[in-house]
Amino acid sequence: MATTVYKSAFVNLIDGEELYLTPLKIKYLREFMEVFDNIKESKDDMEAITCLSDCARVAMKQYCPRIKTMEDLEDSIGLPEIYKILEIAAGIKINQKSESPVKEQANESGSTWETLDLAKLESEVFWLGIWKDYEELELSLSMPELMITLESKRELDYQEKKFLAAIQGVDLDKNSGREKGQKEWEDMKARVFSKGATSDSNDVLSLQGQNAKKSGFGIGMGLEYEDLTKKPKK
């Protein structure tokens, strides 16, 4: 079975128009996350839903540019579809049937930029020479696309260096500390693909999206998990 870089989905607007959803390109994800950060100040579910709806409005810049305002959004789409948009756009999962507050659910699954050196990652990929500037790069790639492109570039670079070293009789794997560097890279990918839920590539939470598909299983592919650290509700 062929692997995929990210999840995608379709949702229908009230007028019947079908939208194809993929993870937000980095340019739109930046604005999305700035708006999403406001959910920390929400006092109840109503304020949290308003914040998440505003996030969906930002996502429309990629999915349906004619929807520009909150009024346009309210006239065009229902709440279940908004939740689906949030999940595909940025991995924010809201279960309408859950008893947990919307704010709590959103914060548990929301991404963060705080521990990710995005500028460094983008600068490395930029050297491929495909994009004229960083704005064009951010309009072209989502985070999953950036990470898989960067992984391929690093592997190709390393294999070239390994070949040249072998000609000189040098075992690059043995002398470069590649194992440690690979673990650091896998941990960073785990943080990205798990939406900040873990930075340990050995953690089950890292087995999502591309990581899950490469491993043949993962969250969203038949493997579910329960957070046993939470106290059961009475």
Helix (H) or strand (E) holding 72: helix 70-76
Q: What is the pLDDT of residues 34-86, one digit of tens each?
A: 999 999 899 999 999 999 999 999 999 999 999 999 999 999 999 999 999 99
Give the pLDDT of residue 159.
83
Encoded tokens for 126: 């930029």
Which of helix, strand or coil describes residue 10? strand
Domain limits of the chain? Answer: 9-109, 118-215
Q: What is the pLDDT of residues 96-105, one digit of tens each?
A: 888 888 988 8
Task: Report which of 232, 185, 191 is spatially closest to residue 209, judged by C-alpha positions.
Answer: 191
Which of helix, strand or coil describes residue 150? helix
Strand partners, 34: none
Helix (H) or strand (E) holding 182: helix 178-193
DSSP states of 85-122 as a string? HHHHHH-----TT-SS-HHHHHHHH---STT--HHHHH
Task: List the pLDDT tens digit at each of the 234 positions of the chain.
Answer: 567 788 899 999 999 999 999 999 999 999 999 999 999 899 999 999 999 999 999 999 999 999 999 999 999 999 999 999 999 999 899 988 888 889 888 887 765 666 677 888 899 999 889 999 999 999 999 999 998 998 888 888 878 887 777 787 777 666 565 555 566 656 666 666 665 556 555 554 555 555 555 554 444 444 444 444 455 554
